[in-house]
Amino acid sequence: MNRIEKVFQTMKKEGKKAFVPYVMAGDGGLTSLKEKLVFLQEAGATAIEIGIPFSDPVADGPVIQEAGIRALNTGVTLKEIVDCIREIRPIIHIPLIFMTYMNPLLSYGLERFSRDIQTSGIDGLIIPDLPIEEEEIITSYLEEVKIELIRLVTLQSPIERIEEITKRGKGFVYAVTVNGITGTRAQFASQLSSHLEKIKSISPLPVLAGFGISTPEHVEEILQYCDGVIVGSKIIELMEADNYEQIRALINATKLPIA
């Protein structure tokens, strides 16, 4: 059983909510990745999303774009990131998920990439610019090595598409909470709660909400309607500021009683 499927089965039995932080591989130098993953694991992260730096990240807001540029400026490559994960994996016990775009994977070679991330210890893959109509280009390789493709549902997704997306895979569904790119938000659209409840009512998979979540209050609010949250831009900002206590506060917000 894939680590992602296993951890969510355990959390469901224990009545817990998930927190998945995002870090950019190579931001601050690739040697810093181990320290970041270890900290997030010890702080209570359910899984960790690891961004692959790319020159044209269409779903990423300014904070993640800047982190990617900093990483690219160090000269880091996808192969080096994969090799780094392989070295770190023995001390990281929670699921690790790559977030990337199709161009780097096509350049690497889809079959080779799928095989290499499996041997390095990656459990899942998020590809925002890969629609379900075209995902067969890589899913056969991923299924062969038991890597979960995590699919996204947006605020604009009709019921029929939500049904089609959520019946695929064994990981979780990534429910996008805003119309637009990643980045912190002061508030969310009024229809977000009903949107998340709709996905939950349809999906046989756990539903995690992401994009724009930046405060413990956001975490508490959104967890009323789904199984967990994904936080990216705010994690990067706090790590840049060496504010690790605020990261702990965000993660601990998942442990508070849900109203």
Structure pTM?
A: 0.94
What is the Cβ-side half-sphere exposure of residue 115, based on CA atoms within 13 angstroms?
Answer: 5
Q: What is the pLDDT of residue 259?
A: 46
Q: Are 128 and 58 in contact (CB under 8 A)?
A: yes
49 given a catalytic annotation: yes
148 given a catalytic annotation: no
pLDDT in tens, 186-232: 455 567 888 899 999 999 999 999 988 999 999 999 999 999 999 99
Question: What is the C-alpha separation between 177 and 157, in angstroms, rounded?
Answer: 12
Which domains are present in the chain? 3-7+18-251 (3.20.20.70)
User: Among the options 49, 116, 221, 227, which is catalytic?
Assistant: 49
Question: What is the C-alpha separation between 244 and 123, in angstroms, rounded?
Answer: 26
Which residues on neighbouring strands pair with residue 20, listed in sequence order?
230
Crossing angle of helices 244-252/33-43, nearest 10°?
40
Q: What is the pLDDT of residue 188?
A: 59
pLDDT band at 181 (very low <50, low <70, confident <90, very high): very low
**Concatenated DSSP letters for 50-111?**
EEPP-S--TT--HHHHHHHHHHHHTT--HHHHHHHHHHHGGG--S-EEEE--HHHHHHH-HH
User: Among the options 5, 27, 60, 148, which is catalytic?
Assistant: 60
